[in-house]
Structure formats: C-alpha cells, structure tokens
Chains A and B, each alone.
Chain A
Amino acid sequence: MEFARKVGASVINGLSYLGSLATLAGRAAFAAFIGPFLGRPVRFQSAVAQAMEVGVRALPILSLITFFIGLILALQSAYELKRFGALNYVASAVAISMSRELGPLITAIVVIGRSGSAFAAEIGTMKVSEEIDALETMAIDPVHFLVTPKFIAMVLMLPCLTIWANSMGILGGSLFGVLQADFTWIRYIHASLEALFLRDVVTGLIKSVMFGVVITAVGCLEGLSTSGGAEQVGRSTTRAVVVSIFLVILVDLVFTTMFFFLGAH
C-alpha cells in the first residue's frame, strides 16, 4: 500500500514536471514564432549571442568527439564485417548510424554539457539574486526576456551542429577506411553519400530539433525553479544535466520507434 502510494506520487510528480516543461516550451515557442506578429519583437541580439555560445563555440569539442565516434564506429563495424569479407560496407555503416542516431544524440549530449547546464546556472543565479523578481517588477516577462532567445538559438543551432557532427563522424570513419580498408578518400565519401538517403538525414534533424526544445526547457525550468542560495544553483545545474540526458534519450526512443514503423511502409 505504502509502495503503491509512493509509485503514484512519483508518477504524478513526473507528469506535472512534464506539464511544466511543455508549458515553458510552449510559452517560449509562442514568443518566438507568434509574438513578433503581435508587435512583441524577439530580442534578436540576445538570440544571436546565444546562438554563438550554443552553436559556434561548441564546434571544436563537438568536431573532436564526433570524429572519434566515427572512427570508433568504423573500427567496431569492421570487426564484424571483416568476417564476411564485407569491409567495403564500413562506409555505409558509419554514415547511416551517424546520421540516424549518433550524430543527433552525441550533439545533444555535448550541448547539454555545455549549454543546458549553463542555462540552469545562469537563470538559477539570477533567481537567487532576485534578478528574475526585478524583471517581473519592471513588467518584463522573464520567459520572453531570457528563455525565448535561448529557445531560438537552440532550435536553430542544434540541427546545424548535427549536420556538422554527421560530417565529422563520416570523416572519422574515412580515416579507418583509407588506412585499413583499401578506400581512397574520394571513394569513401562517395560510398557514404550513396548509402545515405535524404530520409536518414532528415529523421536525424527532426530529432535534433526536438532535443533542442527539451534541453532548453529543462535547463531554463531548473534555473527558474531554483530557490534558496548558491548551493541550490549547483543542484539545479546537476539536475538539468541528468534530466536532460534522460529526456533526450526518451525522446530519441519515441522518435526512433516512430520512424521505424513509418519507414516500414
């Protein structure tokens, strides 16, 4: 009985958390896409600055990580493909698994670590030092002021980063292909492109947009619900990262399942 009550309580908590996430994301999306037509312009400069921070500054580390991931994927698939004498399928294996799955996922995880945590820390600190309250007393909507620029930056930059990550992954795979599997660079890239359907890339990009929404909503919600002092900011940041990773993988599962059944027809 006690157990059932606990399960029930955590289910209700989880659902209400998801509800708050959806509300926050909805308000940010409204302010981003509909607000400008109602005479409430988006803070464009702030969105550009956020896009710089979320997107451009993530490129070096993201490039390095996805290059390695591509190389690892090539090594792993070659291990199995070699037994069938099908080493020239390495290129397509890497290209497809990067574009459909690992590109968006690794990008999301890097962005969670860099930006999702930063959102929670920034907004959490503002909350603790009464800056969010100050915005409200100045009749400035904190969601419109703080969350919307981040939302726009995320939703635009995550697909861009994902495309970049896919390319770097394929490049990483090609290193193995050229050194170990009798490919030339040109042939490897050709083989990769031939293996890819537009559908593979697009499903990955749709996922990445959803990941962007999730990361922004979780990071900002954790920041906004910070109460107390500096140690709570740390806790919010940790929670933002853990919850984001969990939800991104959950969303990934949902979309992959959906694409699987849609693709079967």
Chain B
Amino acid sequence: MPGIADPTRPSVSLDGPMISLRDVRVSYSGREILHGITFDVQRGETLVILGGSGSGKSTLLRTLVGLEKPTSGEVWIAGNNFSAISEAERDDIRKKIGMSFQGGALFGSMTVGENVALPLREHTKLEDSTIDIMVRLKLDQVGLSGYEQYVPSQLSGGMKKRAAVARALAMDPEMLFFDEPSAGLDPIIAAGIDQLILDLKQAFRMTIIVVTHELASAFLIADRMVLINKGDVMAMGTIKEMQNSTHPRVRQFMDRVPEPAVAQELDYLQMLTEQQPRQGSPSPGKSR
C-alpha cells in the first residue's frame, strides 16, 4: 500500500500501542475527508487531536470508534484490525471503549441513572442491586452524586457532559474518547471537565483520546498532540515540541493567527474607510 509511514504490522504485545492508524482514508459520498492518517497511541497515554473546524478531526474520532468505515487503510485497536474482524468481535472491542459525545448524547427518555446503567444491563448479567451500586459509584466519580433520578433535560450543559462521562465509564473501559469536551461550556465548567479528565487519567491510567480546538485545555491534559489540517496529520508531538514548532501552519494554530483570507477582508475594510485602493486588487470605491 502506498504512503505508509511505518509498514510494520503494529505489535500485539501488551506494551505495544493501544491504537494504531495505518494510512487511514475516509470519504463521504465521494469526497475524501481524511487523506491517509498514520499514527500510534500508546497505552495509558492522553492524546489530544487538535484541528480547526472542518479539518476532519471529528471524522477521525468517529473512525477510531468504528462509526465510520475507512475507505482504505487500517485501524488497529488493542491488537485487532477493526475493519477486518466480525461484527461480534467489533462489539467485544467496543465494550472496552467509552465515548463521550459532544452534546452528551444521553437518552432523553431515561433518567441519568438508567443511562449509566444501560451498558451494564445490556452486556452483563449483574443483579439490579449491584448495577445500582455501580451507577452510584460512576456518578460519584464525575461529581454527580444523587442525580440518578434526574432526566437529562433537567441537567445543565456541564452536568450532561459529566453524566455522559459516567456512562462512558460504566463498563470500566480501557480507552476513553472525548468529542469536544468543553464545547459550549463556560470557562469555569470547561475547566472542571478538564480536571475530570486529568483525574481519570491519574486514577485509572486509561488511554484517553480527546478531540478539541481549545488550546488551553489541550495543553493542560495532553501527553502528546496531533494537529489535523484538511484531512492530514500536519504535526505530532509533545506539548513542548508543538510549542517550539517552526512549521508555519502549526505556528498559526498555536498563536491563534487568523486565516489570510480573513486578513484580506480586514484590508478591504481598511481600504473602504481610507479610500485608498491598493494596486492590483479591485476596489468597491472605484465607481465613485
């Protein structure tokens, strides 16, 4: 296969990478969103996937949890090629994965407690009383003790995210995925979610993958970062490496510099107000 950075099959051993992507390409209705992504995520590592809107970072996350099928390339999770195994085997791997969606994706027709209990009821033969205890435990972990009987519509945005994390933790997963954990939250609540991720990381040594565009949050929680730009891995490294990067596009992202197109629009405004058309560019003031 062309374009493979590391053609060796990812190791299946316990200290091998938890997740490996090999030249993963994903297309929606003929348009390619991801153009050959290759990277590894080590066990117990927290990887932050950074990228602008429309960069393909959410698609990447959806591919990692198996919601999107790669058009080519391989996704290896815990030593299994995700796209080559049977549906039943895929489900077994999914039970080791916890996913917290952007809007929480809690089931509106169930209480918070029932939401957290759902994977346990579906996949285990535990007694109801045991499940109740586990639900309380998971809600304690995310700071939502006593909210079992609430329905999701009664919760605030931050609480919904916490409840979603509790549900993701229900099956004691080895891997935890977050889609935009701080999107739509005020800075204090968002910092709370960051702290929650840090706590989980320390307490359980889980492999955590976070998709975000919040730099502050990324610097706080990441062991390593991947910067996705227009469906390609543009840079990858530790926080230090990213901060010291000289790549212009990485610098632009890290320093929060607007796109050149936006800068030109600002010039345009300036031209209009100053009545000084620049050479080579059309001026709306010409006709006057």
Contact = CB atoms under 8 A, between A and B. Distances in A.
B107 A137 contact: no
B105 A134 contact: yes
Interface of A: prevailing SS: helix
A133 B105 contact: yes
A137 B66 contact: yes
A61 interface: no
A202 B228 CA distance: 62
A117 B91 CA distance: 31
Contact of B101 (A125, A130, A140): A130
A136 B66 CA distance: 9
Given A133-B101, A134-B101, A139 B123 contact: yes
Contacts of B122: 138-140
A129 B105 contact: yes
Contacts of A133: 62, 67, 101, 105
Interface in B50-97: 62, 65-67, 90-92, 94-95, 97
A131 interface: yes
A131 B105 contact: yes
A139 B94 contact: yes
A259 to B, nearest CB: 40
Q: Which of B102, B105, B106, B123 has the most chain A CB within a 10 Å cutoff?
A: B105
Contacts of B144: none
A140 B66 contact: no
B66 A130 contact: no
B118 interface: yes
A232 to B, nearest CB: 16
A264 B62 CA distance: 58
A138 B118 contact: yes
Nearest to B107: A131
A135 B72 CA distance: 25
A137 B97 contact: yes
B30 to A, nearest CB: 16
Interface string B98-109: 010111011110
Interface in B246-278: none
A140 B105 contact: no
B119 A136 contact: no
Nearest to A145: B122
Given A131-B107, A133-B67, A138 B94 contact: yes
Interface in A118-177: 125-126, 129-131, 133-134, 136-140
Nearest to B170: A138
B267 to A, nearest CB: 34
Contacts of B101: 130, 133-134
Nearest to B92: A139
B176 to A, nearest CB: 11
B103 to A, nearest CB: 6
B230 to A, nearest CB: 22
A133 B123 CA distance: 17
Nearest to B103: A129
B97 to A, nearest CB: 6
Contacts of A126: 107
A169 B251 CA distance: 76
Contacts of B118: 138, 140
Nearest to A125: B108
A245 to B, nearest CB: 27
Interface string B116-158: 0011001100000000000000000000000000000000000
Nearest to A49: B109
A137 B103 contact: no
A224 B278 CA distance: 53
Contacts of B65: 137
Interface of A: 125-126, 129-131, 133-134, 136-140
6 contacts: A130-B102, A131-B106, A133-B101, A136-B66, A138-B118, A140-B118
Given A129-B103, A139-B92, 11 more contacts: A126-B107, A129-B108, A130-B101, A131-B108, A136-B67, A137-B65, A138-B118, A138-B119, A139-B90, A139-B95, A139-B119
The 6 closest A-B pairs by CB, nearest first: A139-B91, A139-B94, A134-B105, A130-B105, A137-B99, A130-B101
